[in-house]
Amino acid sequence: MPLRPLFPSLIAALALTLTPAPGLAAPKGRAAPKGPTAPAAGPVLVVATPQGGHVLGRATAPVKVVEYVSYTCPHCAAFEKEGSDTILMMMVRPGRVSFEYRPLLRNIVDVAATLLVNCGTPSRFQGNHAAVMLNQAKWMVQPSEAQMARWRTGDLPSRLRIVAADMHLYPLLEARGYARADLDRCLANEALIKTISAENEAATKAGVNGTPSFLINGQLQDAHDWATLRPLLEAAIR
């Protein structure tokens, strides 16, 4: 089952703490579909959206996919490992699909991770997203009671800096060329938190109740992993 996000009223109560996800077996991957050879590697168009997300691919793509994603969701990390390469190479690059990542904030660690991934120009997003998501098993550990107490003290930017340090998120982005001062400025972007929180509330009212969740051409799908989403995508692009 998908995990229910840990809001509403995120802005009013960012004393949220990391809730361990129940362990579910990740779905087994499938062989890559037969079809045209994937285009040569190269930059993919990435555009920031008014909802606080990022779209990969062409605006003219006939199939438009949205993933509601949480950086503390193990199922989201499994989806990234199992499906992202096929989606990018076989669907996005040929212009069949555009793929939008919309963050869904479940806790204060999600807030810190999302702000760091969004740091910089849209062209930086894809690499930032992969760095945080594909290394989730390394940095997402259960915090101590003392750490969580620190996360509830002080102004929001200060608390997010403590979260980023405690969860070892800084090194992931510093390895991508960011200076600590730039990352701290991104962690102070409360306007982006409000934008994403408003989108999250709207998504919940529309039936999105966990991560990962997917829309295909505006329709919410009964799919929460790559094994289930893949045939739906393949049917949509036929």
Q: If one looks up domain 48-236 in CATH, what number appears?
A: 3.40.30.10
Residue 43: predicted pLDDT: 73
Q: Which residues contact 23 (CB under 8 A, 6 or more apart)?
A: 74
- The predicted pLDDT at position 22 comes to 31
pLDDT for 135-172, tens place per residue? 999 999 999 999 999 999 999 999 999 999 999 999 99
Q: What is the pLDDT of residue 187?
A: 99
The reported pTM is: 0.84
Q: CA end-to-end span of the chain, whole Å?
A: 29
Q: Which residue, 137, 110, 139, 114, is CA-closest to 18?
A: 110
What are the CB-based long-range contacts (under 8 Å, 24+) for 119-126?
Answer: 119/173, 119/178, 119/182, 119/183, 119/186, 120/178, 120/182, 120/186, 122/46, 122/47, 122/48, 122/54, 123/43, 123/46, 124/176, 125/46, 125/48, 125/54, 125/101, 126/44, 126/46, 126/54, 126/56
pLDDT lower than 50: segments of the chain: 1-13, 15-40
What confidence score (pLDDT) does residue 29 get?
Answer: 36
Contact criterion met (CB below 8 Å) for 188 and 151: no
pLDDT of residue 108: 97
Neighbours of 92 (CB within 10 A): 24
For 24-48, how does the pLDDT look when each residue is reduced to its tens digit (9 = 90+)? 223 333 333 333 334 445 578 999 9
Q: Phi, psi at residue 107, to the nearest 5°?
A: -170, 175
